[in-house]
Amino acid sequence: MTLDREDIKKLAILSRIKIENSSIQEISERLHRVLDLVNQLSEADTSSVEPMAHPLNAVQRARDDKVTEIDLRERFQKLNHHTHDGLYLVPKVIE
């Protein structure tokens, strides 16, 4: 894949970066090297490689599912006069 000056300018606009005209050639060469590397990787045979969910085969330790705090809902509801059926009433903000 080749990138011309216009492609580099479009990429700069999409990336929201400013590229000086004097550096377009150097950036084009660098991007070309990156794209060559991606092409090399896509040509690698991965048919015998099993997909992994995580590169380190890490396992999430799950904590016990138990209540660690007391329920203060009723106490907080009593502090507010604008409640109804256990819900807080708020002013309408969207028409």
Q: What is the pTM of this model?
A: 0.48
Q: What is the pLDDT of residue 79?
A: 93
Asked whether residue 56 is assigned to any structural domain, the reply reads no
In a domain, 53, yes or no: no
For the chain, the domain total comes to 1
The answer to the question of residue 23 being in a domain is yes
Domain that holds residue 33: 5-43
Residue 81: inside a domain: no
The answer to whether residues 63 and 76 touch, using CB atoms and an 8 Å cutoff, is: no
Question: Which pLDDT value is given to residue 52?
Answer: 81
Tens digit of pLDDT for each residue in 61-75?
888 889 899 999 999
Q: What is the pLDDT of residue 56?
A: 80
* Helices (H), ranges, the chain: 5-15, 24-43, 73-79
In a domain? residue 50: no
pLDDT tens for residues 1-11? 678 889 999 99
Would residue 35 count as lying in a domain? yes
User: Tell me, what's the pLDDT at 77?
Assistant: 92
> Which pLDDT value is given to residue 60?
76
* 9 assigned to some structural domain: yes
